[in-house]
Amino acid sequence: MTPTTKTPSKKEIQNVLKECETHNKKHHCFTTLCKEEAQKQKKAKGTLSGIYISVKDNICVKDVETTAGSHILKGYLPKFDATTIQKLKEEGATIIGKTSCDAFGFGSFNTNVGKGFSIPKNPHDTKRTTGGSSGGSAAITQLATFPHVSLAESTGGSIACPASFCGIIGLTPTYGRVSRYGLIPYANSLDKIGIMSKKVSEIEPILKVISGFDEKDGTSLKEPLNLNAPKKLRIGIIKESYAKGIDPEIQKALKSILTKLKQKHTITEISLPLTTTYGVACYYILATSEASTNLACLSGLRYGQELPKKNKGFNSYFTEVRTKSFNQESKRRIMIGTFTRMAGYRDAYYIKATKVRTKIIQEYKKAFKTYDVLISPTMPFIAPTFSNIDKMTPLQNYLSDILTVGSNLAGLPHASIPIGKKEGMPIGLLAITDHLKEGTLLQTLKEIEALQ
C-alpha cells in the first residue's frame, strides 16, 4: 500500500465500492457500504490520500449507520466522527464501509452477530469462521486488491484472532495510545482501536495518524509515539505455548520461524503461569461486568430500538425491548456481568478479578525486564468450521481466547502475523511488547515478515 498523494477520482471510488460489493455477496464482510458518503467526503491531500479504510461497525462514522453489530442499534446514524475517523479523513483517507462484527464484540468466531445480520465467511474457505469479533475487517483486508487498511478494535483478542484465522497482520496498540472517543464500548478498561493490513509497512503510517492524546478521552495517553527499536531483540518464548491443547502443526510452524530468528536474535523460554492459569477467568469476569454496565442504557427510552409504550411499566417495557433486540450471547454476557457485580458476589468475583489483573500486569512487567518481546501462537488452532463451532459449549468458546486475553488485560501492544499454513488455512504468531513499545513490536513484525 503506497499513498498516491492525489485525490481519488469518482471512477476509482466507484470501482473500489463495486469490488467490495462483490466480496460482500460471498463473504459478508460489511454491514454497510458507504456508497454515497465515500463520494461526498472531502478528499484533503495528506499522507493517506488514495488509501481506502474499512471501519469496524462499533466505531462511529458521521451519518453512516453504526450498530456495533446489534439489532438494538439498527438505524443509529452518528452525528459525529470518532476521533480516529476524523484524523484519517483529515489526512485524505477514504472511508468505504462498516465491517461485520460480533454484536458489541461478544465473540471469538464472529458467529454471534446481531439479529438480522449475516455471519462473515473466511476468505480461504467459506465453510470456516473469519474469527472475531473483528471478522469482517479481517476478511476484507485479505480480499481487497486496492490500497486498503481496516480500522478494527480489540477487547480480549478481537484483532489478533481474526488476523490469525484470515492470514493478515493485526496490530493492537498500548491501551490509551489511540483515542476511544466515538467507539461504542464493550469494556472501557479493555477496549483498544487497532489496525489490520496485509503488510507491516502499511501499519506505521496509519498508527502515526490515529495515535495521540485526545481531550475527549480521559484515558488517552500524552506520551508521543516512539517507533525506535533495538537492532538485536531479546525474545522470550512463552513456555505454555507448547502446552496440551495447542495444535502440533501450529507449534511446528512456530518452532520453524524461531529457528530462523535465532540466527540473529537471543531466544529463551519464559513461563507466565498466572496469565495462563487465570487469564481467561479474570478477563470474562471483568469484561462482562463492564459490558453489563455499558449496555444498561439501551432500554428503548433514550437509546436503542423503540417499541409501543402504551399501558407498560418501565420494567416490562425495558424487558421487552432487550428480549427482542439482543441476541443470545449478548444476553448471556449481560447476565454474567450483572451477577458478578451484585452485592454479596462482588467481593468474591469482581474485586478478586481486579486483584488478579494487577498480578498479571506485574508478571508481564517482570518479564519485560529481561525480554524485548514475548512470542506465542496467536490461536490454539486454525479457523474452525461453522459446524465445529456449533458443537462447542460457551465455555469451550471462551477458552479459545487463552493466548490473547493476557496482553489485553495488561493493555500491552501486541500483534498477530501469519507464519505458515495447515490444510490451506493460515497460522498466526502473536508478538507482545511492553507498554509504549510499538516500535519494538513493528520491528519484530518486520523481522518475521522478511524471513518468509
The catalytic residues are 56, 133, 158
Distance CA(112)–CA(331), nearest Å, equals: 11
Query: Contact, 201 vs 218, CB < 8 A?
Result: no
Q: Name the DSSP class of 177.
A: S
What sign does the dihedral 45-48-53-56 (CA atoms) show? negative
Q: At what angle do helices 328-341 and 273-294 cross, to 10 degrees?
A: 100
Closest of 162, 54, 142, 141 to residue 98, by C-alpha: 54
Gyration radius of the chain over CA positions: 21
Distance CA(423)–CA(419), nearest Å, equals: 14
* Mode of pairing for the β-strands spanning 52-56 and 94-99: parallel
Q: How far is CA 220 from the centre of its chain?
A: 18
The angle at the Cα of 407, spanning 401 to 411, to the nearest 5 degrees, equals 130
All three cell numbers of 306, joined, read: 423503540
196 DSSP β-pair partners: 150, 170
Query: Contact, 227 vs 442, CB < 8 A?
Result: yes
Largest CA distance in the chain: 74
Distance CA(148)–CA(336), nearest Å, equals: 38
Distance CA(380)–CA(411), nearest Å, equals: 21
Q: Would you call the peptide bond into 201 cis, given omega within 30 degrees of 0 as the criterion?
A: no
All three cell numbers of 198, joined, read: 496485509
For cell 530468528, the residue is 261
Distance CA(181)–CA(171), nearest Å, equals: 19
What sign does the dihedral 335-338-342-344 (CA atoms) show? positive
* Mode of pairing for the β-strands spanning 192-197 and 414-422: unpaired
Query: Contact, 196 vs 150, CB < 8 A?
Result: yes
Q: How far is CA 404 from the centre of its chain?
A: 11
All three cell numbers of 19, joined, read: 469490488
275-to-282, 402, 405 alpha-carbon distances in Å: 9, 9, 8
